[in-house]
Amino acid sequence: MTGTAKAHAKGFTAEAKKHLGQHFLHDRGIIAMIVQAVDPQPGDRLVEIGPGQGAITFPLLDRHGELTVIEFDRDLIFPLTEGARAHGTLEVIHRDVLTVDFGALAHNGGPIRLVGNLPYNLSSPILFHALEHAPAIVDMHFMLQKEVVDRMAAGPGSKVYGRLGVMLQAYCQVTALFDVPPAAFRPPPKVDSAVVRLVPRAPESIGIDDHPRFARVVRDAFGQRRKTLRNALSQLCDAAAIEAAGLRPDARAEQIEVADFVRLANSLKQLPPEA
């Protein structure tokens, strides 16, 4: 066995970098559940965000044969590349994922399926970056902090229903799949994690006339959770406009369905400029 092969057989020895939010998954049972949830099919274009030490990468390669990964940490590039040789064909993009054009990736090889154990300190920016390229994405399977997944999948009336859930659910079908305990990682994080599936909605089914307007209405509505719509949206519209959209001005944002936010935003044909 070569030195490289021996190193791969023992696993990576690199320490997790705290400033990059690294927690390396090692639980074989959880890894198998993730691969089963993704369920790669012939012809799929799989792209993994933050492969780390290859815990999900290599099993996906064993199952599918080809994989593109986006990794920011230079120290992980060589061991990933060498370790992948025994499993399949790996393409490594050494960049910050927030600078990667998913649309361009899809243009070069067809719509992509995203997978990733996302760094908790960057999860929301990565999610919204992916949404910007939703037409190029078939689905997304991400591991995130459980609290974030709960907010992503929450419905009206839930204590954790808010801006994140409304924005994601407007553009995707969001399904929380299963929880992951801290012990599944090295080093273990201080919080529970969870795996979530997001499937972008067909553009014609989203129904949002003006995306920046929709985002602003949702942002203001949840700006102060205990305020009524009348008060929270006072800089954008009056009570009559809220009623005209079929909503009660004295309702609070956490009571409003995603489709109602879409209808309200569509009814406000023009918003005042940002202060």
- Annotated binding-site members: 23, 25, 50, 71, 96, 117
Which residue is listed with tokens 């230079």? 74
**Taking the alpha carbons of 120, 132, 179, 166 in that order, is the dihedral positive or negative?**
positive
| Bond preceding residue 181 cis, omega within 30 of 0 | no
Exposure of 121 in the CB half-sphere (CA atoms within 13 A) = 8
Round to whole Å and give the CA distance between 196 and 94.
25
- Furthest CA-CA distance within the chain: 76
Which residues define the annotated binding site for S-adenosyl-L-methionine?
23, 25, 50, 71, 96, 117
In a 3-state reduction of DSSP, which class is residue 32?
helix
Please name every residue paired with 139 in a beta bridge, in sequence order, or none if there are none: 113
Task: Show the tokens assigned to 243.
Answer: 């009623």
Do residues 76 and 90 lie in contact, with contact meaning Cβ atoms separated by under 8 Å?
A: no
